[in-house]
Each structure stands twice: as structure tokens, then as C-alpha cells.
Structure 1
């Protein structure tokens, strides 16, 4: 300890204003960043060995620090990788030769990076938080690549973490943390085995998806892919993907999917005049039918019908099994194409949305019932309706839209077209602004939200115990809605019960209880 009273070495370079440093594992080399250059110093002599600019490292120019931020330089725990940050890019270097092994891209200014203890993962804070697997995968080439076939880092996790300026990984690399200067802390389980939100297993999608939809029982997810364009189906439990079969080499084109209520068929809508029905177990084509109008949306009804919206603003109703017409095509109910349909089973009605109009139509008779001021979804038992205004704020009505349970709340503006009610009409879920929101539809109370990185579809399992969140990127997460799961996860994070003061602050109307069984008080 006596040796800590004075520095082992002092490096005072001329004309350098670095604000981030990293020391080699043997203590002989110092790396610096923060003043347009990566500089490398000999610790023993204090002399500059070399310096590099961003372009020399294959990056954008290295920036100069400011009062609140500095570009970082970090050495991995095993001493074999040097990470050098520019504004929105990171170079992974050999710390001896300074040869660039890989370049990672962030979505905004990088405020923090951290390696896992085994040096196999890297966490990045850039307004969100991302985790990269540095072991990587070999690229798949259509043509020979000049960059070799060596494994490349792959991003294995991405989430929005508003206000998160710092990122860190647990020693085993299976938990990533994001913290803010205001004291907020978020943690994500990268294995999908802990907490009440779990990532489900499964291979990546082979093609980019145009649309995604969760089946009515929450057991499968359908993707409309954009190569030939085809419908693929993932099993939520196993992760297995069943790819659509195209014996004639022609796939459905467009961007709308819907499931039959029994989960035995999935429908792809073309945007032209064709719809296709496929068996989700095999991917085989079951039915194909052409219509006079371009088909832009479709939904199955609980009573055995298929409601179709067209590019001319028409609504057509067919038999769900035969696809034969049950109701004569309704004259245009909106101007322009139908963009989405939302069923009201209690009234045998469907909400038809276009670019500037929303109307409720009786799908048994084709009669127009009333105009709708906002995007509207209906509880299966007819007890409530969820209303989403143009900002994404969600409110709830009852008595056929004549009385508010709770008006739209702009503080939780997470509503959009891809929404779902639970089967018992208690829960309502939707996604907007990089969040999945969950509400108690009977009380209008906002329950909570889950950060997501892109477009997702939502759906509930048959027993309404789990919310399934399926990303258009192929990711699938399940949110356990049982209160006991929330309590268990909170106890695992805290490691103890609430103190008396904490309990009185959070639950002032209830007597304190011992909640975290087996945890310390």
C-alpha cells in the first residue's frame, strides 16, 4: 500500500489534451482518446510511440471532447482487444499492431462502452443500449467478399433506455445494465430465463419481413417476407420456423396478415387482387382467390366470416372456409384504400380505417353504423372499447362509445394499429414510440410498458397469462402477466423486502407484509 502514495509513472505529453485513457495488461503501454487522435505512449519513458486518426482506423474522424462528454478508449479484460470510440462508431483493434479487426455502428453518440469479464461481449450506451457478441459469426456471401470469411461481431440485443448514459455487463455477460446520471437503473436478462419478460429461442429470419402477426392463442407468429414475398410461421415455444411452400414459384405480395381464430390457417393479403390461405403447420397453400378490387386488409370473424377491405374503400364479406361471397360488396365506405380493420364481435361490426376516415360498419348487412373520431378497438365481450388518438394516447370507453372510463392519456402514448385485447377483455396491449404498453381495459389503468427496438405485433396466450411480443426483426418476447411473477422478479432484483419507510411511501394504505420469501429484510 505504501507504493500507492506516489505514482508509478507520469506521462505529460506536449500538445495533447486527451480525456480518456486505457492501460495495457502489462502496465507498459498507455492508450488515450479525446483530442482527435488515438495516441499510444510508452509508460516507462513517457514518450509517444504512435498516433492514429479515425480514418486510419477505418472510422469516422475521432472527435474532440467537450465539457460533458468524451470519446472512450477501453481495453478488454483479456488484454487482446482495444475498443476506440468515435462519435457513433467503434473500432476493435489489436492492441499491439493497432490493426482494425472490426467496426461497430451505434445509432447515436456513444456515451459508454463496457466489456464482459470474459471479453466475449461488448455493451454500448448510445441513448439506447446494445450488446454485441464479439466472437461473431461467419458472413454469408452471394459473391466472394474482399473482407474475408472470418467471423464478424453480431448484435445480440438492442433496447431503448431513455436517459441511459452508462452501460455495463454482469461478470457472466448474461445481464446488461443501463444507468442514468439522474439515478435510474435498468437491467435486461440476455438469456431469457429470468424475470417476468423472457426472450424466446429461435433462428433468425431468412428474409426481411414486411408484416408480423401473433396467432389468437399466442402460440405462433406469422411473418410476411419480402423475397417472392412469402408467409413464414414461427412456433413461440420451440422457435422453429415453418417456411411457406410455393410450388408455382409465386408468392403473395403486400403487407397484411391475419390468423383464423382457431389458429389453423394464416392469410396473406396481396395489396393487389389475391389472397392466400396457408397451413401454419406445413407452410402449404390451402386456398388462393382473386378479387376484382385490390385487397388491402382482411380479418376473420368469430362467427365464420372473412371481412375484406379493398383499395377502393369497399368492404366485402366472404365465408371463411370457402371464400365465397356472403354479403354483396358494400359501396365505398371510405375514400381511398382501407388501411386496417378492427372487429367488434358484440355488434357484428367492423371498424374500417382509411387515410382520413374511420367508420363502423355492420358486416352482416353492410350498413354503415357511425363515424369514429379515432382509431378504435373492441373488447371481445363488448364491455369496452380502446380509443387511440393521433398522438398514440390510449383511452377507454363503454356503453358503445358513449361514456369514458378513462380519456386518452398523453403520458403513455403507446397506442397504434397493431393492438390486441385479451380473450377475457381485461387487458389491452399496443405498441408505439419504441414501447409496448399494457392497460387494464376495465378500469382504464395503465399497467406498465416494455421497451422494444422496432415494429412489433402483440397477442395473448389462450389463458391470458402471457403477452406475446413479436418483432418484425424475428425477435419474440413473452411478458408474464401473473402478479406473482412480478413480485418474484422484483424480489430477485432487490434481494430483500421493502423497508418500513419504503413501504409507507409506496403503499401508505396497507399494512406492511413480508413479501420476498427467503430474502433478507
Structure 2
């Protein structure tokens, strides 16, 4: 959903994309048609003027929200269904994840692929997400090493895969401040939160779902996390961090902890500089 315009987008097995008015629940305009297979993912651009969609026809498409018309030709390159799309925070790039085990980054203005596909995944990739500053990508899929973080500029993987989920990971999302990553599990039916700086899991898995967890999303202030799954429930979790922790560390140590010190003394919290920069 794009909050500035109060619109919601959906994609379905009928090969269409639809836009809805959140206040009235009414469909806005006619369905957006062009896909020749089920639509698996939709995403608004940050300014709300564009909508990206991806699906079983192996393509990614970009739409003009105001007119409902497709912008340019379909983005092609994936050799199997495309499961997830995400715009960069500045709206200039679009990332896609597919059943071919690759991630691809596209120039939104030109429709051209940027660089070569990111290929370390060995099985389908189900979810992709940009960090809030646009410098990193997170991806999750069906392989044994299920979550990876990438440097957008170089296309290189950062660190080692995050592997505590015993099976498929269906969804990943960065927290609004970029310090945490949330993931939704398939086989283990759990939600997990990770420290982006260290790659370590924060706290115990969040349990309660009785089926595969399909999607996770942070609240704008990062204090709540929503999850939805095959058990037909949506759950909201309190994931607020202690705001006074960095200030307390600064007062005690007189300086910011190094990453290594933070890992040693506060391993359950994501790394944050303790003292204001001078």
C-alpha cells in the first residue's frame, strides 16, 4: 500500500493487477492486464506514481498508476516465474527474485538490467527487500542457506548466509532503521529477527503460527511486526528495542562500543553506536 495516496495494489491468479481505494474499498479503474500468468508480487514506487508486478510469465512489468498503462516493455531475463519485486528507496532501481534462483536489479528509467544476476542461491528465491538506505539487498528462498544480504553497488554477498531457519524462508524485510531483518519461516512456522551488522539472531524465534508464515512487515516506527500465514491468521508482535540502551552504554564506557564489544556484552541486541558522533 502507498500511504500518501491511500491505495492498495493486488495481483492474482487471473493474471491481473488491481488497485483499490483503501478508504472506500472500491477498485480504482479497470484491472491492469498484460501478464499471461498468475501475478505473484506487486510493489509501489516510493512516490506512488509507478507500480511493479511480477509473475508466472517470467516477466516484471512497470505500470503508470495514474493511467493504468504499462510503462515500456516487460522486463525479461528470468527464466522461470518471478516471485518478488521491490523498489529501491529512491525509486531508481527495482529488484526481482525468481524461481531460477537469481536476483536481478533493473534501471527503472531505462528498463535495462543493471550488472549481472546475483546467483549464490541454488534454489528458488521467494523474497527480496532493499535496506532503507538502498545500499543492501536481503533475499530469502528455498535453499539450505536461506537468507543472504548483498552489497547493491558491487553485487557481492555480505558475510555468510543466515541459516537458523530449518527450511524455506518465504519473506524478509528490513526494519525502518536498517539495523534488523525479519524473516518468515516455512517448515518451522516461526518469525525470526536478525542483527544486520552481525548476522546473529536476536532473541528466540517468535512462535504461535500453526502453518507456514508467508509474509512479515514492520510498522513505520519499527516497534511492531506483523506476520501472516497459512493458518489464516495475522499476528502482531512487540519488537521494540530499549531506547536507553545506547545512552547507558555511552554513560558507562564513555565512548561507543566497537562491534566486537557489542557482540560480547550485548549479543541479543542489534549493534548501534552508543555515543553521538562529534
Normalising by structure 1, we get a TM-score of: 0.39
Describe the shift of the 1:417–1:262 C-alpha distance in structure 2 as closer, same or farther (beyond 3 A). farther
Structure 2 counterpart of 1:355, from 118, 136, 142: 142
Structure 2 counterpart of 1:302, from 86, 89, 95: 89
Structure 2 counterpart SS, 1:418: strand
Deviation at 1:404, TM superposition (A): 4.9
Describe the shift of the 1:386–1:293 C-alpha distance in structure 2 as closer, same or farther (beyond 3 A). closer
Provide the rounded CA distance (Å) in 2 between the counterparts of 1:378 and 1:418.
13
Provide the rounded CA distance (Å) in 2 between the counterparts of 1:251 and 1:397.
35
**Alignment of 1:371 onto 2:172:** no
For structure 1, list consecutive stretches of 5 or more residues without a partner in the other structure.
1-213, 445-521
- 1:108-160 CA distance string (max 9 Å, x none): xxxxxxxxxxxxxxxxxxxxxxxxxxxxxxxxxxxxxxxxxxxxxxxxxxxxx
For structure 2, list consecutive stretches of 5 or more residues without a partner in the other structure.
243-278
**Map 1:319-468 → 2, pairs under 5 A:** 319-326=107-114, 328-346=115-133, 348-356=135-143, 357-369=146-158, 370-373=160-163, 374=165, 375=169, 376-389=172-185, 390-398=187-195, 400-402=197-199, 404-411=201-208, 416-432=213-229, 433-443=231-241
Deviation at 1:302, TM superposition (A): 0.4
Provide the rounded CA distance (Å) in 2 between the counterparts of 1:314 and 1:366.
12
Deviation at 1:415, TM superposition (A): 7.5
Provide the rounded CA distance (Å) in 1 between the counterparts of 2:218 and 2:44.
15
Provide the rounded CA distance (Å) in 2 between the counterparts of 1:238 and 1:277.
25
Partner of 2:47: 262
**Alignment of 1:311 onto 2:99:** yes
Structure 1 counterpart SS, 2:73: strand
Describe the shift of the 1:413–1:439 C-alpha distance in structure 2 as closer, same or farther (beyond 3 A). farther
Deviation at 1:331, TM superposition (A): 4.8
Provide the rounded CA distance (Å) in 1 between the counterparts of 2:222 and 2:27.
30
Contact residue 414 and residue 431 of structure 1 kept, 8 A: no
Q: Which one has the bigger strand percentage?
A: 1
Deviation at 1:310, TM superposition (A): 3.4
Contact residue 162 and residue 199 of structure 2 kept, 8 A: no
Describe the shift of the 1:343–1:262 C-alpha distance in structure 2 as closer, same or farther (beyond 3 A). same
User: Aligned residue pairs: how many?
Assistant: 226
Deviation at 1:298, TM superposition (A): 1.8
**Map 1:223-238 → 2, pairs under 5 A:** 223-227=10-14, 229-238=15-24
Contact residue 224 and residue 232 of structure 1 kept, 8 A: yes
**Alignment of 1:251 onto 2:40:** no
Contact residue 184 and residue 216 of structure 2 kept, 8 A: no
**Map 1:103-252 → 2, pairs under 5 A:** 214-215=1-2, 219-227=6-14, 229-242=15-28, 243-246=30-33, 250-252=34-36
Structure 2 counterpart SS, 1:262: coil
Larger radius of gyration: 1
Structure 2 counterpart SS, 1:417: strand
Alignment RMSD (CA, Å): 2.8
Provide the rounded CA distance (Å) in 2 between the counterparts of 1:405 and 1:298.
26
Deviation at 1:329, TM superposition (A): 1.4
Normalising by structure 2, we get a TM-score of: 0.69
Structure 2 counterpart SS, 1:257: strand
Describe the shift of the 1:398–1:335 C-alpha distance in structure 2 as closer, same or farther (beyond 3 A). closer
Work out which structure has the larger RCO, using CA pairs closer than 8 Å and 6 or more positions apart in sequence. 2
Contact residue 13 and residue 37 of structure 2 kept, 8 A: yes
